[in-house]
Chain A
Amino acid sequence: MRSSWTIAALCTLLCTAPGAAVLAPVAVLIGSKPYIDHRDQPPYLALPKPLEDQYQLGHAVFNTPFVALGTPNAGRRAGLGPIFNAPSCDECHNEGAHGRGPDYEGAMPNSMVVQLEALPAGVSTDPTDPPGDPVYGRLLSPAAVEGFTAEGQVIIHYHVLQRTYPDGTAWTLRRPEYEITHLGYGPLAANVVIKPRLAPAIFGLGLLESVPGHAAQPGPGRFGWQAIARSVRDQTTRALAREMGVTSTDRPEDDCTSAEMRCLQQRHPQTPEMSGELLEALLTFEKWLSVPANPKALPPAQQAAGLQLFRATGCSGCHLPQQPVLLLQPDGQPLKATIAPFTDLGIHDLGPGLADHEVSGAVHPTRFRTAPLWGIGYRLSRESKPTFLHDGRARSVEEAVLWHDGEAAVVRERFAHLPPEKRAQLLRFVGAL
């Protein structure tokens, strides 16, 4: 298995594609690796033995289902909950990939969370960590360890939208509605925004972190669907604390609030549930994890033509094909290189159709970070029902494109007006990244 996104191939592609003159020369393209065994994902650079061991330990931590405090002999696995969304990182980011589902109407899949964000009431709040619901906190936890009450359940309903392209070709989208049921601690606050979020892939996170700040259009942070988290460490430790209930030195508090007294009483702020050793190993795994090459990559000529169309349609305005990175290699030497994430790391208004809603039902203006497109080909090679966008509403790349609005409305319209064969060509290109 060999990806055609090799250094030489991509250099050839980008350097010969129209518009390539505006690109910096491709010195070293890094990031992509073939995944021979999808359960054993390789780092993007060869690691020396001690670092490789730490990477493997971090991978094990990533996969480990944690258990409740007090579980006999649980050792390093103790610390789940008391309220949580999933017992392991891997349960949502299965084998590092984008969360699966939702396939159908019904209960929200485990790979998805509902974040809660209270609208500021005349006070400025930290944009990288906005406050949550006063009772439920920043996450609606659908699960709890034995003896505790889960916070609530979420049911997804879909409304089908049917439209046609200008050439008469029909398309459909499904628009989700979220029914929140079985709230364990009373009603949600009226000023809370409901933010359904599917687990994003973790491939290449360390590389995205290594993009120099001036190269991106920065949001408040860089990671997560809205670029809220400042760093991989920030994103990881907040997910551990809030989605698994596993505390760390960085985040000694989980998502219990003062309204959840029994939950609060389980806190031991002086004793992080994940040790520093395991946290550093987990971060090492995430930092060095590569991006899976597409095992069915397009021939170089088709890639070049697809990239040209991608640019001409305007997709590359936000889904920037390349970014520079500056990182320290395992031997401590600096490395200037290039990655092909197809994101500008900026945040953009994609219109009211994709925006979150308040509990009252009002649309809440929402800006999303441009989702990296690398790894889509790998996903499509492995998943029978892949979903896209922050809440998995899109069942194909085409549906994801059609949901773009707001700042991307012009590009979406340009896509819609392409001849059918050109639309198919563009979708094949994106689906093979």
Chain B
Amino acid sequence: MRAEKLTLIAAVIATAMAGAPAIAADPCDGFSWNVTHERAIFATPPIAIAAAAAAGAVPTVEVDKLYDISLTPQDKVTFVVTPAKKALADGAYAGLVKLHIPSAGKYRVSMSDGFWIDVIADGKFAPTEDFTGSHECRAPRKIVQYPLPAGNDLVLQFSNASSPDVKVTVTAAPQ
């Protein structure tokens, strides 16, 4: 690189510096992926369900539907596997749902807040592939992508939520 040949242009464009009025920000433009599909689903009426507090009668969620999931105080929840990420759980909420996917592939779990999620397949954590988020957005706030196997139902294990009600959708990731 020859830095002396680089034209040093003004690197900071402070649009409000000249007194221009601030434009209303889109709080959901901070994702590093195309999340048009997820945002469209978050604009649909949610299906209300109650997450389970232990393995057993765990409700099932399906792809491409928005769920309004009520959670339980975390100290009352028995997890299938201890959440992978240790954290203080004061006042936190948690719960379990099952996920049925039609075929193996990459899927995104989109959440209305920055709580922790583990996807459990055959008793083990499914590895995450990537994640993205947008600070001020709640529709959604955070998206985690997983390569998931088909076959048996998967368990989505939510923990460390700050609210007893969260919205979640699962979508197939673009190929």
- What is the interface of chain A, defined by CB distance below 8 A to chain B? 37, 39, 56, 59-61, 63-65, 67, 71-77, 85-88, 90-91, 101-104, 106-110, 142-144, 150, 152-153, 159, 161, 163, 173, 175-184, 186-188, 190, 194, 278, 351-353, 357-361, 363, 384, 402-406, 409, 412
Contact = CB atoms under 8 A, between A and B. Distances in A.
B62 interface: no
Given A72-B91, A106-B32, 14 more contacts: A63-B87, A64-B87, A76-B90, A107-B29, A143-B135, A175-B6, A177-B12, A177-B13, A180-B12, A180-B13, A182-B25, A183-B14, A194-B12, A352-B3
A405 B84 contact: no
Give the 6 A-B CB pairs with smallest separation, nearest first: A361-B10, A75-B90, A73-B91, A183-B16, A107-B30, A357-B11
Contacts of B19: 187
Q: Which of B13, B24, B115 has the most CB of A within 10 A?
A: B13
Nearest to A94: B131
B125 to A, nearest CB: 9
A103 B19 CA distance: 31
B12 A357 contact: yes
Interface string B87-104: 110111000000000000
Nearest to B162: A67
Contacts of B17: 187-188, 190, 359
A363 B15 CA distance: 18
A361 B23 CA distance: 22
A409 B5 CA distance: 13
B140 interface: no
Nearest to A186: B16
A361 B11 contact: yes
Interface residues of B, number: 42
7 contacts: A107-B29, A142-B136, A175-B6, A177-B9, A178-B13, A182-B23, A278-B88
A64 B11 contact: no
B6 A103 contact: no
B43 interface: no
Contacts of A188: 14, 16-17
A177 B87 contact: no
A181 B3 contact: no
A158 to B, nearest CB: 11
Nearest to A104: B32
B130 interface: yes
Contacts of B110: none
B86 A63 contact: yes
Q: Which of B8, B11, B91 has the most CB of A within 10 A?
A: B11
B12 A103 contact: no
Contacts of B135: 85-86, 110, 142-143, 150
A103 B91 contact: no
Contacts of B32: 101-104, 106, 109
A403 B1 contact: yes
B1 A161 contact: yes
B85 to A, nearest CB: 5
Interface string B23-36: 11100011110000
A161 B162 contact: no
Nearest to A68: B162
A412 B1 contact: yes
B2 A163 contact: yes
A106 B29 contact: yes
A60 B90 contact: no
Nearest to B130: A384
B3 A353 contact: yes
B162 A65 contact: yes
Given A101-B32, A187-B16, A405-B3, A110 B87 contact: no
A36 to B, nearest CB: 13
Given A104-B32, A107-B29, A353-B6, A59 B86 contact: yes
